[in-house]
Amino acid sequence: MHFIDEATLFHVGVHSGRSFEEQVHALETAWTQWAGPCKLIYLDPAGEYATEAWATYLQSEGIKVSMTAAEAHWQNGRCEVHGKIVKDMLTRMEGDSPVLTEVDFRKNLRQAFAAKNSLSRIHGYTPEQCLLGKSRALPASLVSDDDASSHVLAESNSPEGQWFRDSLQRREAARKAFVRADNDSAFRRALLRRSRPGVLTFEPKDWVLYWRRSKGNNRLEHGRWHGPAQVIVVEGKKVVWLSHLGRIIRASPEQLRPASLREYHKLPKDSMGNAMDETPRGRGYLELEDIPEDNQLGEAAPSEAYSPSLGQSGPQTPHSTSQPDNEEFPPDSGHGTSAPSLGNEESEQGDDGDDGKLEPHEIPVPDSDDGKYSLFDETEVLKQRANRREKLKWLHGEQ
């Protein structure tokens, strides 16, 4: 697993497996522990990077992700090119000194990245100068190392001296491999023939065909066009989302071409004559078409039917014109008979419609010497009731 800084081209890498735990350990060892979490990381759509555990880890570190489309490695071209250079360097180093153990491979890998970061140039400086602010020391270098201890160890016949000479040979082999890889004609031809984005732009609802490589070992067919598929949305300049046979496809613009008129006419049409996708065959695809009838919806029993929740009704209060303490109404002046009691009041109101309301001039006004009385004074209330009865009798001519 290797990492390259986008600004300085500083390149580091470590030996790693493909599991989630190994990938996280490689990221923390090679980059995070000394440079901190990066702001944005570019990844290819490998299986180990499309897991929920990996997404959760990146979210916890505050790292944004930009993932290339499938089979579109040129979208991460800078990392791909520098990775090929390191692979070529390791191949050349193995030709000079065979790699027998994993420890030998780790040592060669370390020297390969060290040589690349110290010999390549970016804006007139080496990547290590741009990032670290200085060039790393070269022990036992005749030009740049004045310390005699390293030179003495290089000439020693002890086991430590032999180990140090092996390290110097790996450093020399890595530097020679970088110079050869940096001047390799095959890499130069590949750079001249690199993929360039086309001038076509796609819009949602466009019908296109997409290219996919053959997964088998068929030498006669490297890949073919699939579709037509319909464009759903365009994500920036690198990714186009398609819908085909009930599946969502993530493609690169270089992998697409517009559908021809013949291919468009072969598409099935709906009742309105609009082109539609072919019969979906995607795994786990489910399309809801039928609308349930009324008798299939199911109706709740009357006892289970919904009714709004109403609060309990308050106690029935007497009519506003009823007398307090079940007192009788004053008799009618025309008949001279007593009015029914409070218990019979409602029945008589239902017969003749008389609600027993008093005229405005008949409403009694309580007496008060000073015009003020206490609302909660019991004696005053009883006095007002007595005065009211006397006035009602006087108004009806019983005095």
Question: What are the residues whose beta carbons fall under 8 Å from the beta carbon of 352, sequence distance 6 or more?
Answer: none
DSSP state of 32: I
CB atoms within 10 A of CB 240: 26
Instruction: Determine how β-strand 64-67 pairs with β-strand 40-43.
Output: parallel
Give me the pLDDT at residue 90, please: 93
pLDDT at 303 over 90: no
Least confident of 58-67, 130-139, 254-263: 254-263
Least confident of 47-51, 230-234, 271-275: 271-275
pLDDT category at 299 given cuts 50, 70, 90 is: low
Give me the pLDDT at residue 250, please: 87
In angstroms, the CA 161 to CA 153 distance is 5
Angle (nearest 5°) at CA 267 between 264 and 270: 120
Task: Give Cα separations from 84 to 39, 192, 376 (angstroms).
Answer: 25, 16, 100
Kindly report, residue by residue over 46-99, the tens digit of the pLDDT: 878 888 899 999 999 999 988 888 777 777 878 888 988 999 999 999 988 888
Least confident of 123-127, 135-139, 143-147, 266-270: 266-270
Kindly report, residue by residue over 312-352, the tens digit of the pLDDT: 555 554 444 444 555 554 554 444 444 444 444 444 444 44
Give me the pLDDT at residue 67, please: 83
Summarize the confidence of residues 253-257 as an average pLDDT: 86
Give me the pLDDT at residue 353, please: 46
Exposure of 170 by Cβ count < 10 A (0-12 exposed, 13-18 middle, 19+ buried)?
buried
User: Does the predicted TM-score (pTM) go above 0.85?
Assistant: no
pLDDT at 239 over 60: yes
Dump strand ranges (E) for the chain: 2-4, 11-13, 40-43, 64-67, 207-213, 223-235, 239-244, 247-251, 256-258
Give me the pLDDT at residue 346, please: 47
